[in-house]
Amino acid sequence: MATAPDAKPWPAMTLAQIEALITAPGQPFEIETVEIRGVPTRTWKNAPPNLALLIAFSRSHGAREFVIHEDERVTYDAHFRAATHLAHKLAEAGVAKGDRVAFAMRNLPEWTAIFFAVASIGAVAVPLNAWWSAAELAYGINDSGAKLLILDGDRYDRFKGELPALTGLERVFVTRPKGPVEAPAEPFDTLLPSPNEWAALPEMGLHPAAATIAPDDDVVIFYTSGTTGAPKGALGTHRNMATNIFSSAYCNARAMLRRGEMPPGAPVPKIGLLVIPLFHVTACSASLMGTVASGGTIVLMRRWDAGEALKLIERERVQLTGGVPTIAWQLLEHPDRDKHDLSSLEAVQYGGAPAAPELVRRIEAEFGAAPGSGWGMTETMATVTQHTGEDYLNRPDSCGPPVPVAELKIMSLDGAHELPVGEVGELWARGPMIVKGYWNKPEATTETFVDGWVRTGDLARLDEEGFCYIVDRAKDIVIRGGENIYSIEVENVLYAHPAVTDAALVGVPHRTLGEVPAAVVHLCPGCSASEAELQDWVARHLAAFKVPAAIRFVDSVLPRNANGKILKGELRKMFAEG
């Protein structure tokens, strides 16, 4: 890479040099090999063995603010008191090791207290998708075999008619109700008072059950965000969750060493605006775990609104935000952006969906912040690859190299043999972040998990240095007359057009070709572009067979699920309807 005369040469170190330096014996990121379900696996030696010890350690952050939600400001000490108080109450209610506790609510301070309370007594947290319908919530509760359920007021109003039919539930609690709580439900404040009262709770300490928790014990069931079929519950362990703490920290240290800077000797607490749901692994596993370990602060929003986010970034001096690329686009394109002081922003990071290279450059140029990206999935409890800053700017179409405890390989679509560097195939991943399997779905588990590897369903390639490039979902590839069209390639070209802020490519049926590519786009405020103009734009950059045969325009960003993945099934309907 060329550098200005007064700039430091980059990179200052290779990936291999960095790994050898900071994962060696006695170093903070020391790696050891342990056997996990019969498979020798590289793990972070210094990661906490369970989440009970993590929440106990968090109390050392004391009066630092942990969660900010509207007029509620919860310190680490207060949150520890709440989580341990609730843990004892849940145990008194009959929740024991291995029991499932389901909860469905928007991002609230109660969410994190419930999660750590459940985890610290060896029970299994089941964070349900708060966007689900009543029928979908009932599915998750029944499928997980939850013993106890906690809802917020919105979910209670939506779901209370289903409660009498859920005979497997022993207790139901409601926090922040909008009206009376009727039997069989009970007010949550009988277990835990409101967040502003947590600091006055008596000292209780960890429940004795915490001493029985092993690293590979079950701790959470996250339901996949599959856009077809019933969701599957990915069964995660304490080790899965704790791995993210060191994976994310390693990537930050690596970025500093790549530019010739020395990482700090201890984690530096940061203020982050969390705008994606905590029931998603990116928020809970990749973000929350590292925040708790470092003593950082989480700023919550009731619902995503780019204008409100700009105000919060300025008011709380937010240093980190992101989640999915759409959020970054909306912040960049918001008409009020220049009215706010965003100078505190240091990084805008995301995963869950590929980003256009243009977005990567704009984050650095217009925010003065380091762009960051990574790859993971529900089945990996989030982080497998990650990079930020110069590495991402130089490889904006990559999701980064794997962390040192992870392995990646590219396999033929039939899973029979590994492909060489540079070839596109199915991405397989292995490491201490891979979940045990799918809850109560042995056939799906056998199909997806093979000797410690997870078959991801993503089409990808690896380069000579190990950087990963996600090309498409295997099911989303468009095959036009026998020619493969990777949707991300076309979407990135559309994103590069100055009028386009959101885009997706889908395949639509064609009588002779089988299917042809078609696109759905959202234009930036005040911008204009015609179908013919965008088709010509793509034709100037890609082969003719990749040009969308039709383009539809929508007035808002494209529909996504809670994990930020575009609902392409919904988009295909637009073309079926003409």
Other residues' Cβ atoms within 10 Å of the Cβ of residue 138: 16
pLDDT tens, position by position, 20-45: 999 999 999 999 999 999 999 999 99
Provide the pLDDT for residue 326: 77
Q: In 70-214, which residue ranges form alpha helices assigned H by DSSP?
A: 76-92, 109-120, 134-144, 153-159
- Residue 355 identity: A
Cis peptide before 208 (omega within 30 of 0): no
Average pLDDT, the chain: 93
Contact 454, 422 (CB under 8 A): no
Mean pLDDT of 260-274: 94
Residue 484 binned pLDDT confidence (cut-offs 50, 70, 90): confident
What are φ and ψ of residue 348, in 5° steps?
A: -125, 110
What local confidence, expressed as pLDDT, does residue 228 receive?
A: 46
User: Over 80: is that where the pLDDT of 143 sits?
Assistant: yes
483 forms beta bridges with 480
pLDDT (0 to 100) of residue 6: 55
Q: Which residue has the higher pLDDT, 240 or 510?
A: 240
Residues 6+ apart with CB under 8 A from 486: 424, 459, 471, 472, 477
* Residue found under tokens 């986010």: 309
Task: Please tell me the pTM assigned to this model.
Answer: 0.88
pLDDT tens string 461-476: 999 999 999 888 777 8
Count of other CB atoms within 10 angstroms of residue 5: 4
H or E segment and range at residue 71:
none
**Mean pLDDT across 541-568:** 86
| Band of pLDDT at residue 509, cut at 50, 70 and 90 | confident
Q: Is residue 1's pLDDT more than 50? A: no
Strand blocks (E) in 524-563: 550-554
The span from the CA of 100 to the CA of 239, in Å, is 18
Please write the tens of the pLDDT for every residue from 361-379.
999 999 999 999 999 999 9
Better pLDDT: 227 or 426 = 426
How confident is the model at residue 357, as a pLDDT? 83
Domains recognised in the chain with CATH numbers: 21-47+236-472 (3.40.50.12780), 51-213 (3.40.50.980), 477-576 (3.30.300.30)
What is the mean pLDDT of the segment spanning 98-124? 98
SS3 479: strand
Give the tokens for residue 161: 């008619």
Q: Which of 496, 474, 485, 458 is nearest to 548 (CA)?
A: 485
Cβ atoms within 10 Å, residue 447: 12
In angstroms, the CA 10 to CA 255 distance is 11
Give the pairing type, strands 514-523 and 550-554: parallel
Res. 2: pLDDT tops 50: no
pLDDT(229) > 70: no
pLDDT tens per residue, range 390-430: 999 999 999 999 999 999 999 999 999 999 999 999 999 99
Whether 505 and 517 have beta carbons less than 8 Å apart is answered as: yes
Give 349's pLDDT tier (boundaries 50, 70, 90): very high
Which pLDDT belongs to residue 577? 60
Minimum mean pLDDT among 145-149, 232-236, 522-526, 533-537: which range? 522-526
Question: Tell me: the pLDDT tens digits for 311-327?
Answer: 999 999 999 999 878 78
